[in-house]
Amino acid sequence: MNSPNQYEGIVSSLANLSMEMPDILPSLNLANQFADFIAPEDLYLLRLVYMPTDHANLLNYLYQLQQDYLPNGNFTQTQITQIATGKLTPYPYIDEFFINHWHHNGSSHAYAETETELNNYYYSFLLTCGNPFVEKWARFTLELHNFSLLQYKTHGLPDFSAQLVAKNEVAYLVGKYQANAEQESLIPLAQVIEIWTHENPLVREKMLDTVKWQFLQTEQFFYYFTIEHIIAHALQRQIASRWAMLNRQPAHAQGLSKLVENAFNPTRL
């Protein structure tokens, strides 16, 4: 159900955002910043926006990759260790991931495979979390991610179908169900297909982020002072921050290669 709580003060304090921000935005986790002013049940939802960063930190710990700790998640390095050792379970899907996947396979599976498996549990949880706004956003991003991955092979690029996330949830996008996709999907299929006619991956990526941005703009209209509005702002802030950085520092060959590699990374909610 939708949250009945109102957060006029917080919403009024949020900065105006656009995908053409002139300056790089400071890194910010709204769940941590406003933790003392948001009801626990709403904070539980808002933290889901930042769980992908916690996923990256968790997988770094599990695979002992020695990569830098990412600071914009919900949990400290100590808490990530507690999650990895079963002493802290922030969401039930984390426990399911460990019980059903990690404890059976460990690091014998490739990092990408484990990441996809973790995202399977993450999206399955989002789709059934009980909040209509979060559930709709999850289905929208899941559709966009999976449908976009399928376009790689269609356009003569590497086949990334193994990285489809929670594919049973959006089976209407592929195979014999594809004829129903236009009626059942939330994403604008014709627009996404047209986007994929552009050869420049940076152009494609910005156009796909614009699709996400427009969806959030439309959906948050109905939730002005509620946690749903704050969640939408947090998601748009992530998009705006990304493009402010890219616009400020145009992608060189290595940066562009990294962008393409992560173009449809499902860890970005």
Q: Report the pLDDT value the prediction gives residue 266, as an integer from 0 to 100.
A: 41
Tens of pLDDT, residue by residue over 138-169, are: 999 999 999 888 888 787 778 787 788 987 77
**In whole angstroms, how large is the CA radius of gyration of the chain?**
18
Res 200 pLDDT > 80 = yes
Contact 118, 60 (CB under 8 A): no
If we measure between CA atoms, which residue out of 50, 73, 43 comes closest to residue 61? Answer: 73
Is the entire prediction scored with pTM above 0.75?
yes
Confidence of residue 181 (pLDDT cuts 50, 70, 90): low
- Of 121-135, 154-168, 229-243, the one with minimum mean pLDDT is 154-168
Average pLDDT, the chain: 87
Report DSSP letters for the chain, one per residue: -------HHHHHHSPP--TT-SSPPPP--HHHHTGGGS-HHHHHHHHHHHHHHHHHHHHHHHHT--PPPPTTSSS-HHHHHHHHTTS--SSHHHHHHIIIIIHHHGGGS-HHHHHHHHHHHHHHHHTTSS-HHHHHHHHHHHHHHHHHHHHHHHTTS---GGG--SGGGGGGGSGGGGGGHHHH-SS-HHHHHHHTT---HHHHHHHHHHHHHHHHHHHHTT-SSSHHHHHHHHHHHHHHHHHHHHHHS---HHHHHHHHHTTT-TT--
Residue 20 CB partners (closer than 8 Å, separation 6+): 243, 247
Q: Report the pLDDT value the prediction gives residue 170, as an integer from 0 to 100.
A: 72
Q: Report the pLDDT value the prediction gives residue 183, as an integer from 0 to 100.
A: 67
Res 69 pLDDT > 80 = yes
